[in-house]
Structure 1
Amino acid sequence: MKPRAVVFAYHNVGVRCLQVLLARGVDVALVVTHEDSPTENIWFGSVASVAAEHGIPVVTPADPKSAELRAAVSAARPDFIFSFYYRHMLPVDLLAMAARGAYNMHGSLLPKYRGRVPTNWAVLNGETETGATLHEMAAKPDAGAILAQTPVPILPDDTAAQVFDKTTVAAEQTLWRVLPALLAGEAPHLPNDLARGSYFGGRKPEDGRIDWTKPAQQVYNLIRAVAPPYPGAFTDIGDERFIVARARLTRPGAIQSDLPPGLHVSDNAVFAICGDGRAIAIHELRHQRDGQETVVTPAGFAQLIHSSRHPS
């Protein structure tokens, strides 16, 4: 008899890991996912669509603690519960419905970067490596025993989106590698030493505000960490908001300038001076007004700044 599972999933990791379960012969009896928010930039794959293609029932409860969801999971009689980038913590009594355990795929090398948006935090903090971890679910987030991990590199100019693509592949590889042992009851359950790790909370668009007085490497890490399709690192000049969508940290001394920290334009190029005097070359600058973003040229930027400082 095939092992039965209830899968809580969203985003690209949810799509790929659901497909791994199906490829490995797991009977997915129910998929629990989220309704896409109309206010969110949906740049990722649809778990609901994959489930529909395979004829798997899908529910999208607003509250994972609801009696209706509990009844649906109970009716599915799962051997396993899996969570693949589902955005809510699952209550312990719900996890207990899985006769053979409940497991989550997390986008870091636990115990490092427990909590929310681990890929963005890793890039922001200048890490050179992250990865994916399959672990047992517990009352605390990302705190259960570790079954398997796969590391991926973070290169100096990688954006969070590029690292997330690597992490998605790492998640797929991790699940594919350990799933046979898990289904056979032979998977390792290694300690997840929280004292050696770290926990980070969620991030808001406002957290992308750039402080140009900080060292250039810190500013560049922020730009990479929230670059599109995330909301983007931004700066306000007068009433005008600019989003730094693509940039590159210049080598020390590449741009000699006594200009103050902030955005500047010269020789038909936009660049930024940071608090340590080092410069960042801006390769794509967007102007945001009334919720709309448009790419601006260096000349367009100069005109906007002039208008902002000298209103008619």
Structure 2
Amino acid sequence: MRVVAFGYMTWGRRTIEAVLAAGHEIPLIVTHADSDNPYEKIFNESVAELARDREIPVLVRNRADDDEVRAAIRDADADVMVVSNWRTWLPPEVFSIPRLGTLNVHDALLPAYAGFAPLNWALINDEPEVGVTAHMMNAEFDAGDVVLQRSTAITDEDTVVDLFDRTLAMFGPITVDALELIAAGRTDWTPQDRRAASYFHRRTDEENRIDWTWPARDLFNLVRAQVDPYPNAYCYHGPERLRIVRARVTETPFGGTPGRIFIRQGNGVVIVAGADARKGRNKGLLIETVRTDDGRELGAQEYFTRMGGYLTSHPVTP
């Protein structure tokens, strides 16, 4: 088939590579320009470079709703359009141009986790699995009928990078398989249950701020959802910003005040967690590795030379 491709960053590039490898013709690629957003500098394999290397015409846009884009898609005479990690809304007058419609590929088990950073948010929320959905695009963001969906279980050993690797490996195959179904004339797709839908915004520095009133399990999930190369979860030790690189949940409860630097245990230091920690029933967060603002990575017991005091969500001036 003739396939117009909209794509950005590693997700977009791998999807386009798979479509080409499957023997489809791509007469046009549309991508975004490089961004200063720290989340868009991660896993940023260039779609524009791929287009140039394969000598495929490419348009670079923030929003793809102008006359030139629409004309280029019509001139491409595409059977279908494939969209992967496109970061802005596509209007119906764009995605409806190809005769068989537009297939969007999203790294979430839709209808949940539409929008941005679905793997990070799902891990923070202690979901049992993540996955990838290939769906036909409609006028509502990430809401079209599902063509195919594939999942992978989340274990306590997983970080967001592990989930990225496993879901990224799904992008090419699910796209190629969905295109085969579309080419065969299938249209009996599964509507999304909009009652189960959720939509998430972009993550910023604020979303990585640790709140010690959260349960230790939630904090553990936040830390592993923000491992390198993502911006790390952080808190403050006095005036100093402290990034938490590695942590886990204690096996036994620790009572007191949220954020209290309590006791050395194993190879880490226990921090009291949970809004009702005063009742003594909450498990603590065992911090194992931290990173200071000057980039030094230290074991928790090396950094915390004495027990007592507090970690806080905002800086505290002595």
The AA in structure 2 aligned to 1:74 is: R
- Equivalent residues in 2 for 1:224-243 (5 A)? 224-243=224-243
Secondary structure of residue in 2 paired with 1:252: strand
The AA in structure 2 aligned to 1:219 is: L
Q: 1:303 to 1:156 in 2, by over 3 A?
A: closer
Aligned residue for 1:282? 287
Range with bigger deviation, 117-126 or 261-270: 261-270
- State the distance in 1 between where 2:173 and 2:287 align: 36
The AA in structure 2 aligned to 1:224 is: R
The AA in structure 1 aligned to 2:297 is: V
> How large is the RMSD of aligned CA atoms in angstroms?
2.7
Q: Please list every run of 5 or more consecutive structure 2 residues that lacks an aligned counterpart in the other structure.
A: 310-314
Task: Give the total of aligned pairs.
Answer: 303
Secondary structure of residue in 2 paired with 1:127: coil
- State the distance in 2 between where 1:53 and 1:263 align: 54
Secondary structure of residue in 1 paired with 2:217: helix
- Per the TM alignment, residue 216 of structure 1 is displaced from its structure 2 partner at its CA by 0.5
- Equivalent residues in 2 for 1:255-294 (5 A)? 261-263=259-261, 266=264, 269-275=268-274, 276=277, 277-288=282-293, 293-294=295-296
Q: 1:147 to 1:309 in 2, by over 3 A?
A: closer
With the length of structure 1 as denominator, give the TM-score of the two structures: 0.87
- State the distance in 1 between where 2:317 and 2:104 align: 55
- State the distance in 2 between where 1:263 and 1:187 align: 58
The AA in structure 1 aligned to 2:32 is: H
- Per the TM alignment, residue 153 of structure 1 is displaced from its structure 2 partner at its CA by 0.9
The AA in structure 1 aligned to 2:273 is: C
- State the distance in 2 between where 1:257 and 1:137 align: 50
- State the distance in 2 between where 1:271 and 1:46 align: 42
Q: 1:221 to 1:37 in 2, by over 3 A?
A: same
Q: 1:269 to 1:218 in 2, by over 3 A?
A: closer
- State the distance in 1 between where 2:252 and 2:176 align: 44
- Equivalent residues in 2 for 1:93-242 (5 A)? 93-186=93-186, 188-242=188-242
Secondary structure of residue in 2 paired with 1:122: helix
With the length of structure 2 as denominator, give the TM-score of the two structures: 0.85
Aligned residue for 1:19? 17
Q: Please list every run of 5 or more consecutive structure 1 residues that lacks an aligned counterpart in the other structure.
A: none
CA shift digits 1:179-226 (9 cap, x unpaired): 222223235412112123322222222111111122111111211222
Match of 2:297 among 280, 295, 298: 295
Identity of aligned residues (%): 33
Q: 1:261 to 1:102 in 2, by over 3 A?
A: same
- Per the TM alignment, residue 87 of structure 1 is displaced from its structure 2 partner at its CA by 0.9
Indicate conservation of the 8 Å contact 1:152/1:170, yes or no: no
- Per the TM alignment, residue 232 of structure 1 is displaced from its structure 2 partner at its CA by 1.6
